[in-house]
Amino acid sequence: MREDLTRAGWHAAPASGAADVVVVNTCTVTRRADQESRQVVRRVARSHPGARIVVTGCYAQRAPEEVRAIPGVSLVLGTAERERIAAWLPVAAGADGARGADGRDSGVAVSHGRARRGIAPATPLQFGRTRALLKIQDGCDSFCSYCIVPYVRGRARSLSVATVLEQARRLLDAGFHELVLTGADLGSYGEDRPERPRLTDVVRGLLALGAAHRVRLSSIEPNRVPADLLDLLDAEPRLCRHLHLPLQSGSGSVLRAMRRAYDPAAYARLVERAARRGPIGIGADVIVGFPGEGDDEFEETVSFVRSLPLTYLHVFRYSPRPGTVSERQGAGVPDRIARERSARLRRIGETMRDAFHARLVGATLSCLAERGLHATVAWRGTTDLYTPVRVVGPHPGASITPVTILESAEGELRGVAASG
C-alpha cells in the first residue's frame, strides 16, 4: 500500500506530525483482533482530528458496515480494494467530485472475498530493514471449522514462479538479505496454476539468484510440507533451518472437530523427521478452549506438546468467528479456564525455548543484523534458527554474519561475531 501511494504522489507523514489521511490495516482472526482494531481506529481519530481515516484489511472485509460506523472513519476498503489504495484515496481525502476506482463515492468499497482470483504483484520499498516479506500465495481452500481466512481472503491462488523471481530480484537489488516467503496457505503454493509449480521449485529458484542472501519459510500447514523441502533444509545452508507448523491441538478428537487434515501421529512424524537433521527451530500454534475441549482433551495436548522437539509455542484462546462452522458448535470453554490453559501452555513453551537456547551455547550460527544499524557497542539480529541474538561489537551492516553464542539469558541469545 505504501508503494502504491508513493507512486501516486503521496508522501508519508512523520510519525509525530500532521497527516491528511491515516490508513489502518486490520485483522479479524480473533475477537480480540477486532477489538484491538477498533481501539486503534479510535486512537487515530483522537490523535489526528483533522485527518481522513481509511480502514482496510480483514476486519474491514468481514464487517464493513460495523467498521464504517466507528466515529471518524471516512472510507472502508476490502482486501482486494486495498491493493489499489491510491485509486481510492481521493474519496477519503474529500476531493470535490472525487470518486473511487469503481466510479462510486460511497464510504464502503468491499468486494466479495471468495470471488477473488489473482494476487496483485507488489514489491515493498526498502524502509531501513534487512528482511523482506515476499508474498507468493493468498487465500485458502481448507475451510477449517474455526477459521475466517477463506471468507475474507478468498480461494487459494499463487503467483507464477517468474513473477516471484522478478519480485525477489527487486528486493535483493534494494539491499535485503533475507526473503521470507509468506502466504495465507503457503504449502498450497502452485496447486491453482496450470503449470503446477511446487514450493520447493520456488525456493531453489530464489537461492539461485545470488550467494549473499538467505530464504526463510513462514507458517506452513503440516500436511502440506513437501518431503523434498525437508531434504533441501538439510542440504542448503542458506535455507533457514526453521519451520513453523500449526498444530492447534494434540487431541485427535479436537483436530477432527476443527477439520484439520492430519492427526497427532502424522504431526509427530513430521516434527521428529525434521528434528533428526540437526539443530532446527520448530514452532507451533496451539488453540485452547475449542468447543469440546474438556480437561482430558487439554491434557492430551499438554502431553503431546511435551513429547515433541518443539522450540517455541504460539498459544491462542479460541475465538468464535461469525459465519464459521465452529460458531455453531458453541462458545468454547469458559474464559477463566481458557486463560488458565493458555498460561500453562505458554509456560511450557518458554521452558522449551530456554532449553533449546541453552543447547546452542558454544555454537556458531548464521545471523542477520536487524536492529541497531548505527550501533558501535552491540546490535540485535535473528539467527537462521529463528532465535533472537544480541551481539557485542559494531554493527556489520545489512549482511549475514557468523556469530558465536556465549550465553542464553532472558529469552534471547548473546554472542560475538565469529573471527575469521
| 320-333 pLDDT, tens digit each | 999 999 998 877 89
Same domain, 145 and 101: no
Question: At residue 132, what is the residue type?
Answer: A
**Please, which residues have CB within 8 angstroms of residue 35's CB and are 6 or more apart in sequence?**
none
* d(C-alpha 130, C-alpha 289), whole Å: 38
Mean pLDDT of 121-134: 67
* d(C-alpha 319, C-alpha 331), whole Å: 8
Relative orientation angle of helices 199-207 and 161-173, to the nearest 10 degrees: 30
Same domain, 253 and 318: yes
CATH number, domain with residue 156: 3.80.30.20
Same domain, 386 and 369: yes
Residue identified by cell 507458517 is 219
Paired residues of 215 in beta bridges: 179, 239
Could you give the number of structural domains in the chain?
3
Same domain, 88 and 158: no
Question: Does residue 405 form part of some domain?
Answer: yes
Residue 127 pLDDT grade (very low, low, confident, very high; cuts 50, 70, 90)? very low
Residue 125 has pLDDT above 60, yes or no: no
CATH number, domain with residue 368: 2.40.50
Least confident stretch, 31-40, 84-93, 207-216, 370-379: 370-379
**SS3 label, residue 194:** coil
Same domain, 174 and 312: yes
Question: Does residue 270 form part of some domain?
Answer: yes
Residue 249 has pLDDT above 90, yes or no: yes
- The whole-number pLDDT of residue 419 equals 73
CATH number, domain with residue 93: 3.40.50
DSSP label of 5: H
Same domain, 259 and 312: yes
Range of the domain at 145: 131-359
More confident residue, 3 or 337: 337
Could you tell me the sign of the dihedral formed by the alpha carbons of 97, 103, 104, 108, in that order?
A: negative
Residue 97 has pLDDT above 50, yes or no: no
Query: Of 52, 81, 111, which marks where a domain is finished?
Result: 111
Same domain, 62 and 85: yes
Query: Of 344, 359, 374, which marks where a domain is finished?
Result: 359
Question: Does residue 119 form part of some domain?
Answer: no
Same domain, 280 and 338: yes
Model pLDDT for residues 393-420, shown as the tens digit of each residue: 887 776 799 999 999 999 999 999 987 5
In the chain, what percentage of residues exceed pLDDT 90? Answer: 75
Question: Does residue 228 form part of some domain?
Answer: yes
Question: Does residue 245 form part of some domain?
Answer: yes
Comparing C-alpha atoms, which of 363, 341, 352 is closest to residue 407?
363
Mean of all residue pLDDT scores within the chain: 90
Question: Does residue 24 form part of some domain?
Answer: yes
pTM summary value: 0.89
Same domain, 251 and 276: yes
Same domain, 174 and 260: yes
- The whole-number pLDDT of residue 96 equals 43
Going through 260-299 in order, the beta strands assigned E by DSSP cover 281-288
Could you tell me the sign of the dihedral formed by the alpha carbons of 149, 72, 1, 180, in that order?
A: negative
Question: Does residue 178 form part of some domain?
Answer: yes
Same domain, 36 and 99: yes
Question: Does residue 145 form part of some domain?
Answer: yes
Same domain, 224 and 341: yes
